Amino acid sequence: MKNKFVQAHMKSARIYADLSHAARKKVGAVIVKDDRILSIGYNGMPADWDNCCEKTLWHYEGGHPLPLRPVLVTKPEVLHAETNAIAKLAASTESGKDATLFIYPYSPCMECAKLIYQSGISEVYFTEKYRNEDGLNFLKKTRVKVYQVYGLDDHHLAGSPRRLLVQN
């Protein structure tokens, strides 16, 4: 895929990530096939639920009883961006076979990687690795092509985009 299209679809995924109500991590996903966007998704609560994606837990600092420190923890009901995009695709008349998935910013977790593989998606682009690489390793094992994109936000002084560095 040409770099200008990789850049456009990654930027679209970033825009969808901004729609997430999550306070901790905002993730967006765009599924593309034959130069057409088939589906989009961002992380959030199931449809018709309260949009609060995190709960606050209180932790002691350094083993001392006071002061307590608030820590945001993602609720288990939150759907990942990839899951939302694939679910929307499954509800449509389109097929994910040989489609490309753009995720901003994180590579997929293991649960999403399994859905990506089962949906027939053949390529995945992302900008940052997820906290563990189980999902990436699974996709590589199943021969789904994975690419990390660098330089999405780099610009020349004149404002034209630089060539992206895409590595697999």
Classify residue 37 as exposed, middle or buried by CB count within 10 Å of its CB (0-12, 13-18, 19+): middle
Q: How does DSSP assign 31-44, residue by residue?
A: EEETTEEEEEEE-B
State whether the Cα torsion 151-153-158-161 is positive or negative: positive
82 annotated active-site: yes
Structure tokens belonging to residue 11: 């930027």
Kindly report the three-state secondary structure assignment for every residue of 81-138: HHHHHHHHHHCCCCCCCCCEEEEECECCCHHHHHHHHHHCCCEEEECECCCCCHHHHH
Compute and round to an integer the Cα radius of gyration of the chain: 17
Residues 6 or more apart whose Cβ sits within 8 Å of residue 5 = 35
Q: Indicate which residue of 61, 82, 111, 123 is catalytic.
A: 82
Q: Which active-site residues does the annotation give?
A: 82
